[in-house]
C-alpha cells in the first residue's frame, strides 16, 4: 500500500503531539479513582510489553515468542533485588531491563544459528516455559508457587503502593523507552533492522552485520520488556509464576496485531485498547471472553494492518519514518 | 537612573529571572497539587463506616474466577450467593437485603487487583466476601488491608491471606495448615500408630499439607519414619512402594494429586500393602479416586480430608443442595458448591448481632465475637477472636466404612 510521507510541518506537528500526550497525561490522576488509575498504570506497562514484542516480531520479522520470558525475567529480577537485596525499586528498573536484555541475548542465540519461522517460534516458546519452570522450582530465590512479594517502599514520603505516584514513574519510564525506540528505529540501525526483515541475505551482501543487528534488536526488546516487568512487579505488588504463562503471551500478541505489526504507534494503540477492553467487558459477566474474541477478530478483519493503519490513512502525520507495512 | 544598554540588559535579565522564578513557582504549585491529589484519602470517618450501606441494602463485593481456565472454581461462590438469596427471601437482615456485586478475577493477580479496586473505590461496596485462587487473594491482601473494609475469605486456603493477623480480614474456611494438621490428627487417632511415612510431590501445594502434618506429628512425639517423593506425571510407584514395604509403616500420609494417588494406591495393592491405611488431601475425592482405579480393594483403606458434616448426597447436605438448586436450578453440585456457605452463615449471624445501626467497625467487632459457630454444613465450627482470624481449625475425614463412603471425626468414629 502506498503511503504519503509527512511534510516538514506535519513532522513538527507530530513531534509536538508526541510530547503533548505525556504532558496532558500528567493531569490524569486528577480525574481518576484508584481503580481507573490502576487500569491506566496497566496500560503503560502493556505499551512497553507490546513495543518490545513488535520490535522482534514486526520490525525484525523474527517469529520469536520469548516476550513473556523477558517480562517474567524483569519482574522477578526487580522483586528479588528489592525483596532479597534491599535495592530501592526505582534502581531495579534499569537492572531488570539489563536482565531482560540478557534474556534477549539468550533468545537470539537460536536466531543467530539460522533457526527461523516455526522452528524459532517453538524454541522461544520453550524458553518461556523453561523460565516459568525456573520460577516455580527455584523456590529459595523466586518463592516458588508462593511467589515473591514486593517490599513496601515510599518515595518523597508517599507510599509506592499509591497508584498515582506509580503512574508518574511508569509514565516517565514509558515515554523514555518509547522515544528511545523511535529514535533507534529512525537511525541507520533501524534501517538495517528493516532490511534484515525484508531480505537478510541481500542485507548481508551490503556488508551490514546482520547477526549483530539481530542480537541488538533482541537485546533492546528484552531491555524494554524487562523494564516493563519491573513496573509490573510494583504494579501488582506480588510476583507469581502464573502471570508469565501462555495467556499473557497470547494477549501481548493480540495487542501487537490489533495495533499494527511493527508500528510503535500501533504498539501504543493496541496496548491501550486491549488493556481497557476487558475492563469495559466486566459489565457482561460470563460473556467477556466471547466479546473480547469477537472484537479482536472484528478489528483484524476490518483492519488487517491494525489500528495504526487507520490513522495513517487519516493523516500522513501518523506515518512512521522508515516504517513499512509487512507484506 | 540611567537607561543605557547595560541597564536594559540587566533589567531584561532581571525580568527573565523573575519570569523563571514565577514559572518555577507555577511548576512547584502544580506538582504539589498533583502530589496532594495523588494521596488516596482512606480516612475512616463516619461516611466511610457506612459506605455501601442503605436502609434496605448491604452491598457485598464478591470476587471470583468467573472466566479463564480456573473458572470452575467459581462454583465455590454459588452456595454463598444462594444463601444470600435465601436470607433476602426471608426479609434480609434487619430489613436490609444482601446485594452481591460480582467481579471477575480470572484467577489472575492483576485482574484480581483491578476487581478489588473497582469494588472498593468505584462501586463502594460495604464489604467483601469470596475469593478462590490463593495466589490472587495473597496479592489482594495489602490493598484490602489498607482499604480497611471487612473481607471474609470464603474459599482460598493459603494461610498467608490471614496470617499475620489483619484487623479486617477473616478466613471462613479451613486453611492449608488446618487441613494438614487435621490429616495428621486423623492418622494419630488410629490406636497404636507410631510409624508414619509421608509421600508427596515436590511442589508447594504438597508442602502446604505435609509441613503442618509433619509439625503436628512431631508435636505428638512422632517423627515420620520415611519421607518419599513421587513427582507429578509419574506413572509408576514401584520404587517408593518397595521402600515402604521395608519400613512397614502403620499409616501413610500421601500429599499427591488424584492421578498419582490412584497410581500409588494401585502399586501399594500390587506389592501386598493394600491393608496399610493412606491419608490423602482435600485435593482428591474418595469416589473419583475409586473411579480412577476401578478397583474397590485399592481404595478401601484410603481416607481424604472432607470439610463437610456428611457426604455430598447425604441427608445432612440435602437441604443445602436443595437451597442451591432453588436459586440455581441448572447447577451441577460438586464439593466446591458448598464450601462458602458456612462463612455466609457466620456473616449473617454477625450482622444480626450488630443490629440495625450497622457500621464496618461494628461488623468487624461482631465477627471477632463469633465463637464455636456451628454452620450445620462445615465439619468444624467457626471461631474468630481479636487475636486469630483463621476461623476453621479442623476438618473431617471421609473414608469407606463397610463399603460405603462415610464422614469420620476420628479413626472409627463416624461424624
Whether B262 and B402 share a structural domain:
yes
Q: What are the tens digits of pLDDT across the range B346-403? A: 999 999 999 999 999 999 999 999 999 999 999 999 999 999 999 999 999 999 999 8
Q: How far is B410 from chain A (nearest CA, A)?
A: 31
Q: What is the CATH number of the domain that holds A112?
A: 1.10.3470
Structure confidence at residue A98 as a pLDDT band (50, 70, 90): very high
pLDDT at B363: 98
pLDDT at B8 exceeding the cut of 60 = no
CA angle B108, B111, B113 (to 5 degrees): 105
In tens, the pLDDT along A199-247 reads: 999 999 999 999 999 999 999 999 999 999 999 999 999 999 989 999 8
Do B261 and B359 reside in the same domain of the chain? no
Could you tell me if residue A135 is inside a domain?
A: yes
pLDDT of B22: 52
Please list every residue in chain B whose beta carbon sits closer than 8 Å to the beta carbon of residue A278: 111
Nearest CA in chain A to B30: A27
pLDDT of B43 above 50: no
Partners of residue B209 in chain A, C-beta under 8 Å: none
For residue A92, the enclosing domain spans: 8-318
A276 in contact with chain B, both atoms CB, cutoff 8 A: no
CA angle B176, B177, B181 (to 5 degrees): 120
pLDDT of residue A322: 54
Total of domains in chain A:
1
Residues of B in contact with A158 (CB under 8 A): 35, 38-39
Q: Is residue B72 part of a domain?
A: yes
Question: What pLDDT is stored for residue B375 in this prediction?
Answer: 97
A31 touches chain B (CB under 8 A): no
- Determine contact: A293 vs chain B, CB below 8 A: no
Is any Cβ of chain B less than 8 angstroms from the Cβ of A312?
Answer: no
The mean of the pLDDT values for chain B is 89
The answer to whether the Cβ–Cβ distance between B114 and A279 falls below 8 Å is: yes
Q: What is the pLDDT of residues A254-287, one digit of tens each?
A: 999 999 999 999 999 999 999 999 999 998 877 8
Q: Could you tell me if A32 lies within 8 Å of chain B, comparing CB atoms? A: no
**Alpha-carbon distance A230 to A166, whole Å?**
12
Q: How far is B114 from chain A (nearest CA, A)?
A: 6
3-class state of residue B400 by DSSP: strand
- Give chain A positions within 8 Å (CB) of B68: 247, 289
Asked if B166 and B286 sit in the same domain, the reply is no
With respect to residue A327, please indicate whether it lies within any of the assigned structural domains: no
Contact flag A161-B146 (C-beta cutoff 8 Å)? yes
The whole-number pLDDT of residue A272 equals: 96
All residues of chain B having their beta carbon less than 8 Å from the beta carbon of residue A161 are 142-143, 146
Give a yes or no: residue B348 inside a domain: yes
Q: Is the dihedral of CA B26, B29, B34, B37 positive or negative?
A: negative
Within its chain, how far is the Cα of B246 from the centroid? 39
pTM of the model: 0.85
pLDDT for B23 equals: 53
Other beta carbons less than 10 A from residue A122's beta carbon: 14
pLDDT digit string, tens, across residues B226-282: 999 998 888 999 999 999 999 999 999 999 988 899 999 999 999 999 999 999 998
Mean pLDDT, range B214-230, rounded to an integer: 96
Interface contact flag, A144 B203, Cβ < 8 Å = yes
Of A29, A33, A285, the CB nearest to B34: A29
Q: Are B324 and B333 in contact (CB under 8 A)?
A: yes
Q: Return d(Cα B123, Cα B128) in angstroms, integer.
A: 12
How near does any CA of chain B get to the CA of A320, in Å? 32
pLDDT digits (tens, 9 = 90+) for A148-187: 999 999 888 888 989 999 999 999 999 999 999 999 998 9
Q: Do B190 and B278 have their domain in common?
A: yes
Assigned C-alpha cell, B166: 489483619
- Do B285 and B407 sit in the same domain of this protein? yes
Asked whether residue A3 carries a pLDDT value surpassing 80, the answer given is no
Instruction: State the Cα–Cα distance between residues B396 and B277, nearest whole angstrom.
Output: 16
- What's the structural domain count of chain B? 2
Verify that B281 and B168 share a domain, yes or no: no
Strand B413-414 relative to strand B404-410, pairing? antiparallel
Nearest to B273, CA basis, from B261, B264, B285, B281: B264
Cα-Cα end-to-end distance for chain B: 105
Tell me which residue in B37, B109, B204 faces A164 most closely, judged by beta carbons. Answer: B37
Instruction: Assess A38–B contact: CB distance below 8 Å, yes or no.
Output: yes
Q: State the residue range of the domain holding B269.
A: 177-306+397-414
> Is the CB of A144 less than 8 angstroms away from the CB of B204?
yes
* Integer-rounded Cα radius of gyration of chain A: 19
Q: What is the CATH number of the domain that holds B214?
A: 3.40.50.2300
Whether residue A19 is contained in a domain is answered as: yes
B103·A282 Cβ contact <8 A: yes
Helix residue spans in B175-224 (DSSP H):
176-189, 204-219
**Structure confidence by residue, pLDDT tens digits, B86-128:** 999 999 999 999 999 999 999 899 999 999 999 999 999 999 9
Neighbour-count burial of B20, counting CB atoms closer than 10 A to its CB (0-12 exposed, 13-18 middle, 19+ buried): exposed
B38/A39 touch (CB, cutoff 8 Å), yes or no: no
Query: Is A279 touching B (CB cutoff 8 A)?
Result: yes
For B248, residues 6+ apart whose C-beta sits below 8 A from its C-beta are B195
CA B237 to chain A, closest CA, distance in angstroms equals: 22
Q: Does residue B38 lie within any of the structural domains?
A: no
DSSP, res B127: E
Local structure of B405: helix, strand or coil: strand
**A288–B contact, CB cutoff 8 A:** yes
- Report CB contact under 8 Å: A164, B34: yes
Helix, strand, coil abundance in chain B, percent, nearest 5:
45, 15, 35
Counted across chains A and B, CB pairs separated by less than 8 A come out at: 107
Which residues in chain A have Cβ-Cβ distances shorter than 8 Å to B160? 146
How does DSSP classify residue A283?
G
How many Å lie between the alpha carbon of A101 and the closest alpha carbon of chain B? 24
Query: Is A3 domain-assigned?
Result: no
The answer to whether the CB atoms of A35 and B40 lie below 8 A apart is no
Instruction: Please indicate, yes or no, if residue B108 is contained in any of the structural domains.
Output: yes
The per-residue pLDDT for B385 is 98
Supply the ipTM of this predicted assembly. Answer: 0.89
Specify whether the CB–CB gap between B311 and B317 falls below 8 A.
Answer: yes
Calculate what percentage of chain A has a pLDDT beyond 90. 71
Nearest CA in chain B to A158: B39
**Cell numbers that stand for B401 in this block:** 466404612
- B30 inside domain: no
B162 shares its domain with B191: no
Amino acid at each position: 500500500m502506498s503511503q504519503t510521507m509527512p511534510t516538514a510541518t506535519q513532522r513538527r506537528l507530530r513531534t509536538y503531539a508526541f510530547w503533548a500526550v505525556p504532558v496532558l497525561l500528567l493531569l490524569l490522576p486528577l480525574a481518576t479513582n484508584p481503580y481507573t488509575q490502576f487500569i491506566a498504570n496497566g496500560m503503560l506497562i502493556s505499551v512497553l510489553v507490546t513495543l518490545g514484542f513488535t520490535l522482534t516480531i514486526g520490525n525484525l520479522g523474527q517469529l520469536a515468542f520469548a516476550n513473556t520470558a523477558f517480562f517474567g525475567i524483569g519482574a522477578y529480577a526487580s522483586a528479588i533485588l528489592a525483596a532479597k537485596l534491599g535495592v530501592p525499586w526505582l534502581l531495579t528498573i534499569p537492572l531488570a531491563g539489563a536482565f531482560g536484555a540478557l534474556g534477549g541475548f539468550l533468545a537470539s542465540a537460536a536466531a543467530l544459528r539460522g533457526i527461523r519461522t516455526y522452528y524459532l517460534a517453538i524454541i522461544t516458546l520453550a524458553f518461556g516455559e523453561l523460565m516459568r519452570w525456573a520460577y516455580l522450582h527455584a523456590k529459595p530465590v523466586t518463592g516458588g508457587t508462593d511467589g515473591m512479594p514486593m517490599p513496601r517502599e515510599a518515595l518523597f514520603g508517599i507510599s509506592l503502593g499509591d497508584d498515582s505516584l506509580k503512574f508518574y514513574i511508569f509514565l516517565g519510564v514509558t515515554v523514555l523507552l518509547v522515544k528511545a525506540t523511535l529514535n533507534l528505529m529512525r537511525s541507520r540501525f533501524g534501517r538495517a533492522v528493516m532490511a534484515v526483515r525484508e531480505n537478510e541475505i541481500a542485507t548481508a551482501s551490503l556488508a551490514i552485520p546482520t547477526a549483530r543487528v539481530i542480537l541488538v534488536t533482541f537485546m533492546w526488546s528484552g531491555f524494554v520488556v524487562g523494564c516493563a516487568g519491573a513496573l509490573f512487579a510494583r504494579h501488582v505488588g506480588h510476583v507469581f509464576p502464573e502471570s508469565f504463562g501462555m495467556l499473557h503471551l497470547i494477549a501481548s500478541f493480540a495487542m501487537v496485531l490489533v495495533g499494527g505489526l511493527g508500528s510503535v504507534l500501533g504498539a501504543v494503540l493496541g496496548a491501550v485498547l486491549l488493556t481497557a477492553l476487558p475492563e469495559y467487558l466486566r459489565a457482561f459477566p460470563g460473556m467477556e471472553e466471547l466479546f473480547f474474541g469477537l472484537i479482536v477478530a472484528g478489528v483484524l478483519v476490518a483492519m488487517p494492518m491494525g489500528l495504526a493503519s487507520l490513522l495513517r490513512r487519516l493523516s500522513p502525520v501518523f506515518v512512521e519514518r522508515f516504517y513499512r507495512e509487512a507484506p | 537612573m540611567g537607561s543605557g544598554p547595560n541597564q536594559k540588559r540587566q533589567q531584561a535579565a532581571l525580568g527573565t529571572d523573575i519570569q523563571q522564578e514565577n514559572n518555577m513557582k507555577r511548576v512547584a504549585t502544580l506538582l504539589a497539587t498533583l502530589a496532594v491529589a495523588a494521596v488516596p484519602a482512606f480516612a475512616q470517618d463516619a461516611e466511610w463506616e457506612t459506605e455501601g450501606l442503605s436502609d434496605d441494602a448491604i452491598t457485598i463485593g464478591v470476587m471470583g474466577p468467573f472466566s479463564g481456565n480456573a473458572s470452575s472454581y467459581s462454583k465455590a461462590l454459588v452456595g454463598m450467593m444462594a444463601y444470600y438469596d435465601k436470607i433476602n427471601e426471608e426479609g434480609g437482615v434487619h430489613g436490609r437485603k444482601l446485594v452481591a456485586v460480582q467481579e471477575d478475577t480470572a484467577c489472575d493477580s492483576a485482574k484480581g487487583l483491578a476487581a478489588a479496586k473497582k469494588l472498593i473505590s468505584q462501586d463502594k461496596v460495604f464489604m467483601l466476601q469470596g475469593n478462590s485462587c490463593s495466589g490472587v487473594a495473597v496479592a489482594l491482601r495489602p490493598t484490602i488491608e489498607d482499604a480497611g473494609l471487612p473481607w471474609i475469605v470464603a474459599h482460598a486456603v493459603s494461610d498467608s491471606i490471614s496470617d499475620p493477623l489483619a484487623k479486617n480480614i477473616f478466613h471462613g474456611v479451613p486453611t492449608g495448615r488446618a487441613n494438614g494438621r487435621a490429616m495428621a490428627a486423623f492418622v494419630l487417632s488410629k490406636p497404636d500408630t507410631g510409624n508414619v511415612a509421608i509421600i508427596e510431590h515436590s511442589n508447594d501445594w504438597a508442602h502446604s499439607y505435609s509441613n503442618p502434618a509433619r509439625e503436628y506429628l512431631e508435636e505428638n512425639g512422632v517423627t515420620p519414619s520415611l519421607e518419599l517423593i513421587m513427582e507429578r506425571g509419574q506413572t509408576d510407584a514401584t520404587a517408593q512402594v518397595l521402600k515402604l514395604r521395608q519400613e512397614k509403616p502403620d499409616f501413610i500420609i500421601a500429599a499427591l494429586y488424584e492421578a498419582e494417588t490412584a497410581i500409588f494406591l494401585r502399586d501399594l495393592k500390587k506389592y501386598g500393602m493394600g491393608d496399610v491405611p493412606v491419608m490423602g488431601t482435600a485435593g482428591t475425592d474418595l469416589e473419583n479416586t475409586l473411579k480412577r482405579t476401578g478397583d474397590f480393594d485399592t481404595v478401601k483403606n484410603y481416607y481424604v480430608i472432607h470439610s463437610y458434616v456428611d457426604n455430598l448426597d447425604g441427608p445432612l447436605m440435602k437441604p443445602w443442595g436443595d437451597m442451591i438448586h432453588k436459586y440455581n436450578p441448572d447447577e451441577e453440585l460438586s464439593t466446591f458448591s458448598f464450601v462458602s456457605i458456612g462463612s455466609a452463615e457466620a456473616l449473617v449471624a454477625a450482622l444480626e448481632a450488630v443490629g440495625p445501626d450497622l457500621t464496618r467497625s461494628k461488623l468487624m467487632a461482631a465477627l471477632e465475637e463469633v465463637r464455636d459457630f456451628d454452620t450445620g454444613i462445615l465439619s468444624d465450627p467457626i471461631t474468630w477472636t481479636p487475636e486469630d482470624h483463621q476461623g476453621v481449625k479442623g476438618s473431617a475425614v471421609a473414608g469407606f466404612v463397610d463399603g460405603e463412603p462415610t464422614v469420620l471425626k476420628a479413626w472409627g468414629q463416624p461424624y
